[in-house]
Each structure stands twice: as structure tokens, then as C-alpha cells.
Structure 1
Amino acid sequence: MPATSTAGLMDGTALARRLVERSAAKAATITERTGAAPCLATVLVGEDPASVTYVRMKRNRCAKAGITSRHVELPAATTTAELVGTLTELSRDPGVHGILLQHPVGAHIDERAAFEAIAPEKDVDGVTMHSFAAMGFGLPGFVSCTPGGILRLLDAYDVPLAGKHAVVVGRSPILGKPVGMLLLGRDATVTYCHSRTADLSGHVRQADILVAAVGRPRFLAGADIKPGAVVIDAGYNPGNVGDVDFDSARERASLITPVPGGVGPMTIAVLLAQTVDAAAEQLGLGLPPVN
């Protein structure tokens, strides 16, 4: 990875568009063979404006990809038991092929218990312990959507992973932790860091591949980027800024994801692809996965 004066941009928007097109083609095949479209159930607890917007966007993308969406709105006062009951019913419904619980849910709800009520074969968002273990062991299953999108971006830009030092800054169960496992499964050497890591700058300087997923605006300085590194900024903060100081990082990196337009579009595209794959698997059609 040679140093460059200005990093190339990794266009997640264009890559996501192609992935959605392939998902739509597979969805059309499923509909033609079975008479029913793949179905994604979205569950929203409360009326958080950001969550409402995200769910609406995902449902709109579903429609464009030939995926039916079934939306379940629950009041903010919904209990853990009630939410678990709803997700269990959806898991048992043969007309539903994928389930998305929009998170975060209210602080009074046991989010982990809710996630675990989703049947593994319908966990198209990759949030259950089953999916996490499958990612860790390299077994078949659904990946967390953002990490899955990051790996697709790296592959699309022919970024070599084997033997490279990947530094992941962030440890969330649906982003930081699983993306590190996916990179490890591709023979990268992975270092996990977070906001409390001692000498964080020192670790960042060693990264051939840097994944920023800490959720703090411009938390990582461009001066700490190893010349020629590939920078994946999975952060999205108010003001359309990521977790990396983009302007300074671009002067040192070889490739970098913009915010917005980098990782974000890939997250939804992977969700749609995994929903279509789940439908084909549950219906026993024997179709290859969307790649």
C-alpha cells in the first residue's frame, strides 16, 4: 500500500446500488417461482425521530428491491416481555423471511433478550448471539450488516487483507467486535482499540487498515494515519462528519471512505441482500447468495 498525497475515495453509494440491483434480480426470481416476494418485518418501539426516519428509508429501499416490508409499531411503554412476544410471533410466521428490530430501544427494555427472540434463520441484521458466533467461527450465517458492508467495500477495491495489520477503534457488538472477527477470518492481524485505550495514537499509526467505529466526531486525527493506509470511517455524527478527520486523513491514506456516501449505503444494501438470501433458503430454492 504505497503512500499517496491524496487518498482515493471508496464509493459506497455506487457499490451499494449494484448490490441492490443484484438483490432485486434474485427477489424477482423468488417471486416468479413462488408467487410471493421476500418479506422483511421491521419492528419499531416508540417514536424516536431518527429511528422513524431510518425505518422509513429501509422500507423504501425494500420496495425498490422487490422486497415486501411488514412494519410493526409498538408504543414506547412496551415491556421486554411484550417485545419478545412480538419478535417470537414474527419468527414463527412463515410469511416473514427476515426481521429487523430498530435499535436502540428504550432503556427499560432488555435489548439483548429482544434480539435473542429473533430466529437465527431470520436474523438478517446479524444481531443475535448465534450470528455473532457464526462470524467468529467462520460458519454459515448472517453477518452484522455494517461489518459485512465494510468487507464488501474492501474486496471491491482489491484491498489485500491477509497479513495486514487492521486496527479497529470501537467495540460495539454489532460493529466493532464483529468487523474485527471478519477481518481475522481473512487472515488480517487485528488490534481492538476504543476510547479508553492507552496510547491510542500509537496503535493507529501501525494500522495498514483502520476501521473507525467509536461514535465520536473527528476523534481520530489525520496526523496519526500511517502513510498509505486504508481508512474505513464507519462513524456518522451530527453535521455529516465521521469519526476520522477526513481532510487531514486523506492527505496520508491511500483509500478512504467519505461520510456520507461510504459505509452507510452498504449497510442497507447488505440488509436487503441478506433478506433475499434468507427467503431463498427458507423456501428451499437453492439459489446462490447475492454477491
Structure 2
Amino acid sequence: MQLIDGKALANKIQTTITGEVTKLKQEKNIVPGLAVVIVGDDPASHAYVNMKAKACEKVGFYSIVHKMPDTISQEEIIEIINMMNKNPHIHGILVQLPLPKHIDTDRILEVIDPKKDVDGFHAYNVGRMVTGLDSFVPCTPLGVMKMFEAYNIDLQGKDICVVGASNIVGKPMASLLLNANATVTITHIYTKDLKAHTSRADIVVVGVGVPGLIKEDMVKEGAIVIDIGTNRIADGSLVGDVDFENVSKKCSYITPVPGGVGPMTITMLLENTLKAAQQGI
């Protein structure tokens, strides 16, 4: 069993990004800028935003966080996004999800300029990604694809089971794997027999937010398991969606939690923002 070390890979990619930022400053006098919109007081969302701000600082980006009360109207959020769409110093715009119930999330995401949609959630970028065209790709699935690449894991012809069908992770993950010529099965909350699908897969990718969902008897010997789940349990520790201790005994490769996919997600956000800044020249 080999651990896929997302933290080490993320640090390596961030070093490359830092070099590109220095080059962009020297040659074009451009500093990549990321703006984050956060609505309400959700502790997990604020923790993620703080991590993103620190990562921006580390690689030399300009970043700004727009903190808004959960009583804010949809029109006010749209107004702020439109302002950032027009700001030449902002190359990437990210709206931290989830938003309060009175806000139409789809409408908010559609207001973001597709050229600044560094989360890859705008319908324009989703369409381009599905058809295999250059686009901004959602950060978590993109990070997983970079992991496969870094560890020389060939996806062509592999049977891959994606557990979870969210717009943020499951659906884009399946599209990227399909574009890499894998045979993809997507399972979700209404799937009748999850084990029947996961146990015959060469690769299992899971991201549903259910601690320990994937058990030892649900994966075959030598499988590759990518655990996207991040769950804080009663004792305060972070665990994934996979029963790591037991499942890891059967795997050829597996990602740990923490230290697996998580660091790659933030690093892909940085990479997308750099790409947006370079494309804006």
C-alpha cells in the first residue's frame, strides 16, 4: 500500500506557482488577485476562507475577503460580484458555499464572469469541461486528477466508481475521468446496492461527508481509493469517508485524511487564479 501524499504534492505545485507569480510581477507588473465572498457565520466556511487567504499570501497573490451578514439580500451580493467582475486587479472570484436558504445559489454563480470563475461552477465552464475543452475546472476534482498524474496512475480503461453526485465534486469528477477514457459508474444516495458497485471497481473515489462509509469488504484487493470526505467527529479529529485503518490494508494506493485531497483543493484554486491572471494579459 502506498499513500498518496497530497500535502507534499501541493507544496511542490505551490513552489512552481510562486515562481510564476514572481515572473508575472517582473515582466507584466501583474499580481494575481483573488476575491472571496462569504455570507453568514458558518465556522467551517470561515475556516476554509482563512486557509485560502493564507495560501494566497504564501504564493504572493493579492486577496480580499468580502464578509457579509446572512441577512444580506441577493441583489446586494450580485451588486458586489458585478463590481468585482469589472475590477481589473481581481482575476478570480469565489463565492463560499453553502449560501443562506433565501439566496438562489445558481443565480449567484451565474453572475460571476466565466473568465474569473476560478471555482469552475459557472454553467459556461461546466459545459466546456464536460466536452473536454479548456476551462476552469472545479478545484477538488482537478486536484484528484493531478494526483493520478503525479503518481503515474493510468486511467484509460479502468473501472472507476464515483461515490457522490454533487455539482461540486461527484459530477465534475466523473466527467474528467470519462474524458480520460475511464469507464465510470456514479453512485449516490438513491443507489440500491453501493457495495455491488464499489467492490468491482479498480478505483473508488468517494466524497459524500459520511464518516467511514466505505468499509474493507466494499473494495477489492489492490484497488486505488481516493477519499475526498472531510468530517470532524465527536473527539474533534478529522476523518474521511473511508474506514482508513481497515481499507488501506487492501489498497495499492490510498489518500489519507487529513493530508490527502484537502491541500490539493486549495492549491488548484491558486493554480486556477494564476491561469485567470495569465489569460487576462
TM-score normalised by L of structure 1: 0.93
- Identity across aligned pairs (percent)? 43
Amino acid at match of 1:209: I
2:276 and 2:206 map into 1 onto residues whose CA distance is 29
1:72 and 1:277 map into 2 onto residues whose CA distance is 22
Q: Select 2:33's aligned residue among 22, 34, 39.
A: 39
Asked if 1:156 corresponds to 2:154, the answer is no
Range moving further from structure 2, 70-79 or 266-275: 70-79
Aligned to 2:192: 198
User: Cα deviation per residue 1:140-185 (whole Å; 9 max; x = unaligned)?
Assistant: 1110000000000011111110000110000110100000000000
Q: Given that residues 37 and 67 in structure 1 are in contact (C-alpha distance below 8 angstroms), is that contact kept between their aligned partners in structure 2?
A: yes
Range moving further from structure 2, 141-150 or 20-29: 20-29
Aligned to 1:147: 141
Q: Displacement of 1:127 after TM fit?
A: 1.2
Amino acid at match of 2:246: S
2:94 and 2:20 map into 1 onto residues whose CA distance is 20
Instruction: Name structure 2 gaps, 5 residues minimum.
Output: none
Asked if 1:167 corresponds to 2:161, the answer is yes
2:201 and 2:75 map into 1 onto residues whose CA distance is 44
Asked if 1:248 corresponds to 2:255, the answer is no
Aligned to 1:181: 175
Amino acid at match of 2:190: R
Q: Select 2:264's aligned residue among 266, 284, 288.
A: 266
- Secondary structure of the 2:231 match is coil
User: Cα deviation per residue 1:175-212 (whole Å; 9 max; x = unaligned)?
Assistant: 00000000000000000001221111010011111000
1:43 and 1:96 map into 2 onto residues whose CA distance is 13
- Secondary structure of the 1:191 match is strand
Matches within 5 A, 1:195-234: 195-234=189-228
Amino acid at match of 1:217: P
Q: Select 2:42's aligned residue among 42, 48, 60.
A: 48
Range moving further from structure 2, 51-60 or 27-36: 27-36
Q: Select 1:110's aligned residue among 95, 104, 110.
A: 104
Amino acid at match of 1:69: S
Q: Given that residues 195 and 214 in structure 1 are in contact (C-alpha distance below 8 angstroms), is that contact kept between their aligned partners in structure 2?
A: no
Off by >3 Å, runs of 4+ in structure 1: none
Instruction: Name structure 1 gaps, 5 residues minimum.
Output: 1-6, 284-291
Aligned to 1:67: 61
Q: Given that residues 223 and 248 in structure 1 are in contact (C-alpha distance below 8 angstroms), is that contact kept between their aligned partners in structure 2?
A: no
TM-score normalised by L of structure 2: 0.96
1:168 and 1:20 map into 2 onto residues whose CA distance is 27
Considering only aligned residues, what root-mean-square deviation do their CA atoms show, in Å? 0.9
Q: Displacement of 1:72 after TM fit?
A: 1.1
